[in-house]
Amino acid sequence: MERISTKQLQEQLRVYFIMGSNNCEKHPFDVLTEAIEGGITFFQFREKGHGALSGAEKVALAKELQAICRKYSIPFLVNDDVELALALDADGVHIGQEDERADIVRRKIGAKILGVSAHNLDEAKRAIEQGADYLGVGPIFPTNTKTDAKEAQGVEVLRHLREQGITIPIVGIGGITADNAKEVIRAGADGVSVISAISLANSPKESAKQLAKAVDDALHEKK
């Protein structure tokens, strides 16, 4: 298996939905199904925080969600838990600065997709040297979803990374909605990653649709 190309990943990262059971008021299976119907292009299973499942229950939910992603050809990544990603033969892993080192994870996962969180240029450069395929940059806007998130940086951080020569795919994260997604793309991101904008929406399908439209419109402006 070869590493995914930058072009293919850029395309796939447009609307990146992240979710765990504690992000939802409805059953996660239904939320993810609706989100896919609405047009999400990438999925991360992030089962952590207050009330998160563990052990066999976590594995069972991951398998259920992976099966829907497989059915609709949506890449399925696992947050933090490299061993789970390997056990499930997931499409990849997302890790942050407080997780296992990216070069070690790269060795473990071979050509699977590796996403790394970066908050500044130094972290971005190191992540790339260590084998990241894409960067998750944020929080861009204030978020209530991740209690230990750093301070929101605004879209300037994205512009800065691009001006300083970072060319690999980037998704913005943190407080992103259909109303501010265009700013994120215009500043240099290839896509937006969201949790609550979809997971807590009355209609995850409608919310995903609106996000996809905002992102696609902004990407067309750049062409």
* Interacting residue with ligand LCLJCK34 among 39, 75, 136, 204 (CB under 6 A): 136
Residue 199 bears catalytic tag: no
Q: What share of the chain is helix, strand, coil (3-state, %, to 5)?
A: 45, 15, 40
Of 14, 21, 46, 106, the catalytic one is 46
Radius of gyration of the chain (CA): 16
Q: Any known ligand binding at 175? A: yes
171, interface contact from ligand LCLJCK34, ligand TZP, Mg ion, none, CB < 5-8 Å by kind: ligand LCLJCK34
Grouping H, G, I as helix, E, B as strand and the rest as coil, residue 132 is coil
Q: Are 67 and 88 in contact (CB under 8 A)?
A: no
CA-CA distances (angstroms) from residue 175 to 116, 139, 145, 146, 184? 19, 7, 8, 10, 11
CB of 95 to Mg ion, least distance (A): 6
Applying CB under 6 A, among 169, 174, 188, 191 the residue interacting with ligand TZP is 174
Name the site residues for Mg ion (rule: CB under 5 A): 80, 96, 99
CB 155 within 8 A of CB 170: no
- What part of residues 189-208 is at the interface with ligand LCLJCK34 (CB under 6 A)? 193
Bind-site residues: 44-48, 79-80, 99, 117, 143-146, 175, 195-196
